[in-house]
Homo-oligomer: A and B are copies of this chain.
Amino acid sequence: MTKPLSGITILDLTHVLAGPFCSMTLCDLGADVIKVERPGTGDDTRAFPPFANGKSAYFAAINHGKKSIALDLKSEADRAIFARLLARADVILENYRPGVMERMGYGWETLHAEYPRLIYGAVSGFGHTGPEAKRPAYDMVVQARGGVMSITGEKDRDPVRVGASIGDIVAGMFLCQGVLAALMDRERTGKGRKVDVSMLDSQLAILEHAIAITTVTGNPPAPTGARHPSIAPFETFHASDGLFVIAAGNDALFEKLCVALDLPLSDDPRFATNPARVENARLLKRLIEAVTIDRTRSHWIAKLGAAGIPSGPIQNVEQVLRDPQILARNMVVDVLDRNGRPAFKAAGNPIKLSGMADPTVRPAAPDLDGDRGEILRWLEDKG
């Protein structure tokens, strides 16, 4: 059992979410991640709630298994340590505003000249080019500006934020892809590359049908609540004990659904094709709910499941963390404390690879500067 990134060392100057999410994935895939933090406070998220035993569960969930060293990159002594780390690292990650690394003497051009194999991964609000490159951003700024909020929420009400921080997370994921592609490439060429990912660009990259609709019709889509804008039935329905989801994405599934609900609609011209069903989605919802309202969610989910129709519950996060399928996939892991005892729960690694163990526990997140001694000894050993 080996990890694909074993032997790869990541020098991680990022903080908060986008960059640390990227290095968490690289760590799960086997890389050694050395988190370089500013002395005193370290990563902002060390102070983010919620806390257990004085430690941030938020920080622990994203930084487990990494090592920490605190370096003041304005001090000569710490810059000397940083130079030795750079000489040993395969990848450097940073999420400063464009220009900050250059001012510290660590811009891509400088580093690439000195360490040609080093891969340089940067994630920023708006990217390293363009008129607004130096503007600051947070998740919500790019969710709003990038269009996702304009299609999320209820019709004729104000847009809402996506509850998960996809402004950060999707950018961290694209950064991870760029770094992995550069690592693969370097095996063949021996040369590192710079990866420049912007949170705003990343929002655009996930809009899919909304861009297609806008460019063909000229009309940007509006939010549609819990309903898919161009597939029906594909939304929430009331059962006797609450809402659940039915997603019948094509005509064959709609026919199966009509059979399962004993609802003779599939020959009705108002519902015979997906475009017709979308046109008559409100009526269709009422007709389906007239049936589903009489029995419980679990009755319908079991019945539709047996008939091969995609459906399911709307779960809150407490229910998600007890879901048997999710637990069977090791998707809820224990993050240990420094004494090896379970301290927090966090999401597991969604990338299941043959030949790589999928443990149900994770090492502790590092204390600030907690691995300084070990990291310095490692540099000594490397000469």
Contacts and interface: CB of A to CB of B under 8 A. Distances in A.
A226 B159 contact: yes
A75 interface: no
Contact of A141 (B25, B157, B312): B312
A285 to B, nearest CB: 13
A2 B206 CA distance: 25
A198 B160 CA distance: 27
A213 B4 CA distance: 32
A147 interface: yes
Contacts of A243: 158-159
A253 to B, nearest CB: 8
A209 interface: yes
A85 interface: no
Copies in the complex: 2
A339 interface: no
Given A151-B317, A206-B169, A318-B220, A352 B195 contact: yes
Contact of A344 (B212, B230, B315, B331): B212
Interface residues of A, number: 160
Given A52-B216, A150-B317, A317-B151, A208 B17 contact: yes
B247 A138 contact: yes
The majority secondary structure among interface residues of chain A is mixed
Nearest to A191: B355
Contacts of A216: 50-52, 57, 344
A181 interface: yes
Interface in A61-80: 61-62
Contacts of A207: 164, 317, 320, 347
A181 B5 contact: yes
Contacts of A108: 354
Contacts of A346: 211-212, 215
A224 to B, nearest CB: 7
A140 interface: yes
Interface stretch (A123-131, A262-270, A375-383): A123-131
Given A130-B329, A136-B310, A163-B210, 11 more contacts: A50-B217, A61-B212, A127-B329, A131-B324, A145-B313, A145-B315, A145-B320, A178-B353, A180-B180, A195-B353, A201-B350
7 contacts: A4-B184, A49-B213, A140-B247, A141-B312, A159-B226, A166-B206, A205-B348
